[in-house]
Amino acid sequence: MEETMPNRLRILCAFLSTLILLAVAAPGVRADQPKLVVFITVDQLRGDMPWRFKDRFGEGGFKYLLEKGVAYTNANFRHSTTFTAVGHASLATGGNALQHGLAGNDWHDFATGKQIYCVEDDRHTLIGKEPKAHAGMSPRNLTSSSFGDEVVLATGGKSRVFSVSIKDRGAILPGGHLGKAYWYSSSSGQFVTSTYYASEYPAWVTAWNKAGHAAAYKDKAWDLLHDRSTYIFADRDDEPWEKSYKKLGRTFPHALGNEDEKAFNAGLRFTPMGDELTLAFVKELMDQEKLGSGPTTDVLAVSFSVTDYIGHAFGPDSLEAEDNLLRLDRTLADFFAFLDKKHGLDNVVIALSSDHGIDSVPERALDSGLAAGRHRPKDFIATVNEGLKKRFKIQEDLVMVFWNPSLYLDPDAVSRAGLEIETVEAALREEILKVPGVRFAVTRTDLLKGNVTSEPMHAKLQLSFHPTRSGHVLFVQDVGWYLYPKPDEFAAMHGTPYTMDTYVPVLFAGHKIQHKIVDREVAPEDVASTITTYLGIKPPTGSTGTALVEVLAGLRD
């Protein structure tokens, strides 16, 4: 297979001009290296979930991490934009938006006036596909090295990095610039990649896809793993706010069917079978690529996405979410048993975390007597535009688009009105704060100047701000309020600086890691520098995290 390495290196250098020079000066890797670092992200796994269900888990999955490894019980992201792209980037690089470049899953491009998806790159189409707008993928928008990049550079290219996920962003961002990423195509039911990584698929990937592993689930159904009476949320199988995606229905059993090929392939993501399929591909990758069998430490990143799909569709306090977590535990146990058989768990470092947590469905909160609501961006954009028109006595709308957590002004409209951007920003901040369900707002100008107030939300928004990708006013909704460009697409949402969204597990096990439960405050941004320090190499270029000493303690023995 002909690699496109020269092109990849040119792209890398464009973003990370000092990376190779720094790597030359990096210390050598430690003598007693693990064969493999396995970094697992469970999308939307809130920090309390492994502990709440621990007694119901089987052996060898979550329990292996919680009982044999170092488990941090108080890990919260430092930023406020708790979305998939941002969380994966922060975990992989140890930085926040300013360092890694990800202002959200999407943002508005000031130069082109168009929406930018976090990993889109029209220069690199999917292998075998014709060029199509917004369909190409690469880590182009990631502006820091990842811990995997640092491993490759520190070993002179001898180490290899692979990253796999159902989601494209869940594979691409943890894979960094020098890894190879594969993700699931919901249209074809296959695992795919782009020409950024290679010009053609390895023979084993082609064969695996042709075998139709996804199709094996046709005519099957997702039913409860155990007797219904054993579930905490046994009576929550048909709530009015639950979404029936791809004909799966709102109640068990959720039949996958086989009539509509695209609906089946897409619907698989909303069932535990999606994570099972991901693991099947990962096992084949490890076998075919002989990962962990080389002279230096290899890196495997796996992001299990199904928890996120199910949490959005049914809510985190649903029967579906509960059953999925029990099934995910079995998938992890299967994975760890495979790693043990292949390399021995004492030769593997396993790290597990999540990109963000999740809030309850707002309608459930309302039923419980809590304050909650569902923002409708089109409505509040219209409201603030009317407020600005009255304030400045103009006829033209000044706010053009919203992407969490930013409102973007139309610079041309502001200019035509004879106004200054800073003046309109300040006015827009005042107008958005009038909207019910909005807690805090800050202007781009104040963030650029570092005018930080004592409000904790300000500091979190500062860490979510990117000077060329964020909007003119960033804001935070009240607790319990759903905020997303499509207000009715999902049952539940994340994306806030509140604990239910920032709180995630941070777990390490394997190799020389000694068991300990740690209650002190740490951050998921510490994961990347912990891995690089463990291997005796420098942290990623954008890392702001601190190596977790409890994970390193066994290296001194």
d(CA 138, CA 123) in angstroms, rounded, equals: 9
Token pair listed for 273: 């079978």
- Given a contact cutoff of 8 angstroms between Cβ atoms, the answer to whether 273 and 256 are in contact is yes
Enumerate residues 6+ apart whose C-beta is below 8 A from 268: 186, 189, 214, 217, 256, 274, 277
> Left if phi > 0, otherwise alpha if psi is -120 to 50, otherwise beta: which for 435?
beta
The helix/strand/coil state of 457 is helix
Q: How far apart are CA 512 and CA 454, in angstroms?
A: 42
- At a CB cut-off of 8 Å and minimum separation 6, what does 290 contact? none
**Tokens representing residue 323 in the block:** 């059953």
Sign, Cα dihedral of 461, 466, 472, 477: negative
Closest of 259, 253, 258 to residue 272, by C-alpha: 253
Burial of 439 (C-beta count, 10 Å sphere; 0-12/13-18/19+): middle
> Virtual CA dihedral for 158, 69, 528, 452, nearest 10 degrees?
180
Give the separation between CA 270 and CA 261, rounded to whole angstroms.
Answer: 15
User: For the chain, what is the radius of gyration of the CA atoms?
Assistant: 23
Q: Which residues contact 335 (CB under 8 A, 6 or more apart)?
A: 279, 282, 302
List, in sequence order, every residue forming a beta bridge with 510; answer none if it has no partner: 349
Indicate which residue of 82, 84, 278, 544 is catalytic.
Answer: 84
- Distances in whole angstroms, Cα of residue 84 to Cα of each of 52, 144, 166, 288: 23, 17, 12, 29
CA dihedral of residues 59, 64, 65, 70 (deg, nearest 10): 140
What tokens does 342 get? 């292949």
CB neighbours of residue 449 within 10 Å:
9
Stated as kind and residue range, the H or E segment containing 98 is helix 97-100
84 catalytic residue (yes or no): yes
Say if residues 34 and 510 touch (Cβ distance below 8 Å).
yes
Q: In this structure, what are the phi and psi dihedrals at residue 28, rounded to the nearest 5 degrees?
A: -65, 155
Task: Give the integer Cα–Cα distance in Å for 112 and 431.
Answer: 27
Active site residues: 84
